[in-house]
Structure 1
Amino acid sequence: MTARNADSYDLDLHRFPGHLIRRLHQISVAQFAEMLSSHDIDLTPVQYAALKAIKANPGVDQASVAGLIAYDKATLGKVIDRLEAKALIDRSVSPKDRRAKQLDLTAAGQQILDRVQPLVDAVQGEILTGLTKEEQHQFLVLLQKATSAGNERSRAPMRRPSRKS
């Protein structure tokens, strides 16, 4: 390889946080999909996140789930449709507001979460392969700090549901 070719491989974008975060996200999604697929489980990372949010907030509405997992409301609607079609969640009229729909895990949804959780836990360390345990901890602390600081600049900021009495 000539010096010119070697320089052209080392693109400036390989030093940009946004590019590297996008690449790490690609790696993360691929490892998640591979792990679940190897156990014959059909669940995406966003579907998993939605199930976790619904489990933690029984009776939550769809817009609140979107806020909890920092996902676009319109796109999340399709995710919720798929989870309902897989019989992992129930969507019903809210007893507090007849115009709103509430979401709850089904028994099958709880079973899939129980089955998936150890796999998701196992894949986390693989995502940060190449880092020591201490570096992984430090990276997560810094990633949480940067994500929190930029939350309001997101098209889909993370939001906690309001507690209505």
Structure 2
Amino acid sequence: MRDNNEMPGHLARRFQQIAVAVFLAEVEEAGFDLTPVQYAALSAISTNPGVEQVTLAGLIAYDRTTITGVVDRLVQKGFLLRHPSSRDRRARELKITEAGKRTLRAITPAVEAAQRTMLRGLTAKEGTELMRLLRKAIAAGNDLSRAPLRNAELR
């Protein structure tokens, strides 16, 4: 039987646990109540105003069912507006509010600090190499995911 520390799945899950804990700690310390996926959604909507909810799920690699709850919470916090699509009455278009824009700007230093903390045991060169290898592995396995990235390039 192999040691868990020799299995990429175990190490990826462990790194994810650490990444979420670090993100939440930095964001909470800065006075915000936002999860990593809420931040990703808010950021993606800011970059893609009017994006439909289903498209958002693909942009941040989240399943369609769960994204509804994420969007609901962001709407409740006053960070997003959700309107029926002008192209498809069944779809919902999303737009970031002024409060959402302010929060996104204000939370950025905490998010950036979290990213640095996640890589703190690595040299700058190692951090760059880890990011390159993660992108490469994700690109190769993207189609195997239950929530693959859509229309995205992993640079």
Query: What interval of TM-score do these two structures reach, taking the shorter chain for normalisation?
Result: over 0.9
Any conservation in 2 of the 1:64–1:160 contact (CA below 8 Å)?
no
Matches within 5 A, 1:62-141: 62-141=53-132
Looking at structure 1, the residues matched to 116 and 99 of structure 2 have their Cα atoms a distance apart, in angstroms, of 27
Q: Flag as ranges the 4+ runs of structure 1 deviating above 3 A.
A: none
Uncovered stretches (5+) of structure 1, i.e. residues with no partner: 1-10
Q: Which has the larger radius of gyration?
A: 1
Figure out how many residues of one structure are paired with residues of the other and give that number: 151
Say which of 49, 59, 65 aligns to 1:58: 49
Equivalent in the alignment of 1:3: none
Any conservation in 1 of the 2:81–2:97 contact (CA below 8 Å)?
yes
The answer to which of 57-66 and 122-131 deviates more is: 122-131
Matched, 1:24 2:51: no
Cα displacement (A) at 1:96: 2.4
Looking at structure 2, the residues matched to 149 and 53 of structure 1 have their Cα atoms a distance apart, in angstroms, of 23
Looking at structure 1, the residues matched to 43 and 151 of structure 2 have their Cα atoms a distance apart, in angstroms, of 14
- Once the two structures are superposed, what CA deviation does each residue of 1:101-127 show, in whole Å capped at 9, x if it has no partner? 100000000011001112111211110
Looking at structure 1, the residues matched to 71 and 99 of structure 2 have their Cα atoms a distance apart, in angstroms, of 15
For residue 60 of structure 1, give the secondary structure of its aligned residue in structure 2: coil
Uncovered stretches (5+) of structure 2, i.e. residues with no partner: none
Q: Which amino acid aligns with 1:31?
A: V
CA-atom RMSD in angstroms: 1.2
Equivalent in the alignment of 2:149: 158
Matched, 1:13 2:4: yes
Any conservation in 2 of the 1:60–1:103 contact (CA below 8 Å)?
yes
- TM-score normalised by the chain length of structure 1: 0.88
